[in-house]
Structure 1
Amino acid sequence: MASSTTNKTVYKVIYFNHDEIFEVYAANVYASELYGFVEIETWLFGERSQLLVDPAEEKLKNEFAGVTRSYIPMTAIIRIDEVEQQGQAKVSTAKMATVSAFPRPPAKTDK
């Protein structure tokens, strides 16, 4: 099977943003010159349909309207995949795990 050079590369980027998880698609993803950041350019969103509007995708379109390039901290990145085709951008609530200290015996006090 021969590969076609006309196909554009599409990346799916999943990352934390405050208390939400963003799943977005972009044409360009780089290791940034700003230490500790991933650079994302050329956001890809689905074409608007007159009949069906996804509120999550609309939220992301509005969030990135007029944005040329974003710098996402590497610690916020969950995953970056090179995919064959663009999917639908999503926003979901992050379910953070609660961490509690391991129980330990009470400290001895000498009086």
Structure 2
Amino acid sequence: MAKKLYKISFLNHTKVYELYARHVAASGLWGFTEVSDLVFDVHEGLVVDPTEERLRDEFGATQVLHLPMQSIIRVEEVEKKGQAVIRDAASGEKVVTPFPLPGKPR
């Protein structure tokens, strides 16, 4: 039997985060949803997707993520993992942090 896989979409600081996890349940903390066993693509060497890398840096060491119920937009049970993304909440466009160019002020 294959393990279940969930796609979780939630609001975080005016951005919509979409992560994949193996476990979603009601949290022991009142008003929160527990998300654990986060799933990230593992690439050796070259970084293929900077957004996935950013999410892995932010949540890679997280054992259990307790999300406030009001921040969760959707929880979907899916058959296979898609791309983890960060979107702007207002426009819905993907947020990609550009690489800094030498000589250009930030």
On whether the aligned pair clears a TM of 0.5, the verdict is: yes
Q: What is aligned with 2:83?
A: 88
Which residue, 73, 77, 83 being the options, matches 2:72? Answer: 77
Which residue, 59, 62, 67 being the options, matches 1:67? Answer: 62
Q: What is aligned with 1:46?
A: 41
Residues 60-92 of structure 1: per-residue CA shift (max 9 Å, x gap): 000012111010000000000000111111011
Give ranges in structure 2 of 5+ residues lacking alignment: 92-106
Q: How far did residue 55 of structure 1 move?
A: 1.1
Question: How many residue pairs get matched?
Answer: 91
Task: State how far apart, in whole Å, the 1-side matches of 2:59 and 2:47 are.
Answer: 20
Give ranges in structure 1 of 5+ residues lacking alignment: 97-111
CA-based RMSD of the aligned residues comes to 1.4
Larger CA Rg, structure 1 vs 2: 1
Q: TM-score, normalised by structure 2?
A: 0.80
Q: Any conservation in 1 of the 2:5–2:78 contact (CA below 8 Å)? A: yes
Describe how 1:1-111 pairs up with structure 2 within 5 A.
5=1, 7-48=2-43, 50-51=45-46, 53-95=48-90
Q: TM-score, normalised by structure 1?
A: 0.76
Same amino acid, percent of matched pairs: 41
Counterpart AA for 1:20: K
Decide which moves more: 45-54 or 78-87: 45-54
SS of the equivalent of 2:56 reads helix
Q: Any conservation in 1 of the 2:10–2:71 contact (CA below 8 Å)? A: yes
